[in-house]
């Protein structure tokens, strides 16, 4: 098929290209109105009894305190393993998740090796609305503190000997994640290019499908007209 044939097919089935472009434009508009996501990374740090997280001897790196924090995270997750990313700073929404929660003991390792440097539980939440994220954050923080208290009460630990759980004061902030103007422009250009590719391909395919029966009918007519006619013999 020559370039001229392609242009002819597209021109004859231009409505297919326009329909695909309009469909992609509506899809882009609906995605652009979504408003992005909301994200928070809250932390709960465990220390030795009545110790501050800012003091050198707080016990956040103590093996027994780290183990206790791990048991709290495990109970909160129902014993399910926590997904690990390549780096600690990898944002939860970077995995393409628009709404979800992940809770786990702070891990400085990666997908292949776990390194737990401190008795800190990380709570990552991403959602479509700020209200939903705030509700989940409040509920999970209360649940972490409740589990920590319940485990020590069940172990008959005296109040003055109980491990202290502290919520990071700056970790409860909720941020909005939305694409920049440059990213939006690039996304629009990519979608329009995809729309043209799909539309042109669809126009060519439909044109071939509709014109093939006509060509076959024309060929049969020409073959019939050019075939010799048998005459009758008069004796």
Inside any domain, residue 221? no
Residues 100, 194 within the same domain: no
Residues 56, 84 within the same domain: yes
Cα 117 to Cα 11, 62, 163, distances in angstroms: 65, 9, 17
pLDDT at 149: 95
Element (H, E) at 65: helix 63-76
pLDDT at 53: 79
Residues 118, 153 within the same domain: yes
pTM greater than 0.85: no
Please tell me the total count of domains within the chain.
2
Residue (of 64, 52, 43, 53) closest to 145 by Cα position: 43
pLDDT at 58: 86
Residues 130, 170 within the same domain: yes
The rounded distance, in Å, linking the Cα atoms of 131 and 125 is: 12
The rounded distance, in Å, linking the Cα atoms of 26 and 32 is: 10
Burial of residue 115, with CB atoms counted within 10 A of its CB: 0-12 exposed, 13-18 middle, 19 or more buried = exposed
The rounded distance, in Å, linking the Cα atoms of 61 and 119 is: 6
Q: Are 187 and 34 a contacting pair, CB within 8 Å? A: no
Domain that holds residue 154: 37-177
Inside any domain, residue 225? no
pLDDT in tens, 52-77: 877 777 888 999 999 999 999 999 98
Between residues 28 and 174, the one the model is more confident about = 174
Residues 126, 193 within the same domain: no
Residues 66, 169 within the same domain: yes
Inside any domain, residue 226? no
């Amino acid at each position: 098929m020559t370039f001229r044939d392609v242009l002819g097919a597209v021109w004859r089935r231009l409505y297919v290209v326009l329909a695909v472009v309009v469909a992609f434009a509506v899809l882009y508009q609906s995605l652009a109105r979504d408003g992005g996501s909301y994200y928070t990374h809250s932390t709960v740090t465990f220390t030795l009894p009545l110790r501050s997280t800012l003091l050198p001897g707080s016990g956040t790196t103590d093996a027994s305190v780290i183990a206790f924090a791990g048991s709290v995270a495990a109970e909160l997750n129902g014993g399910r393993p926590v997904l690990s990313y390549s780096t600690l700073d990898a944002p939860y929404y970077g995995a393409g998740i628009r709404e979800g929660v992940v809770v786990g003991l702070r891990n400085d390792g990666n997908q292949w090796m776990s390194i737990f440097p401190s008795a800190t539980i990380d709570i990552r939440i991403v959602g479509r609305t700020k209200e939903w994220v705030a509700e989940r954050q409040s509920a999970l923080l209360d649940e972490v503190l409740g589990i920590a208290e319940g485990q020590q009460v069940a172990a008959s630990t005296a109040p003055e000997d109980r491990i202290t759980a502290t919520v990071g004061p700056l970790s409860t902030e909720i941020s909005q994640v939305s694409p920049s103007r440059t990213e939006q422009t690039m996304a629009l250009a990519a979608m329009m290019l995809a729309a043209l590719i799909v539309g042109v391909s669809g126009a060519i395919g439909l044109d071939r499908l509709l014109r093939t029966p006509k060509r076959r009918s024309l060929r049969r007519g020409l073959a019939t007209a050019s075939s010799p006619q048998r005459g009758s013999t008069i004796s």
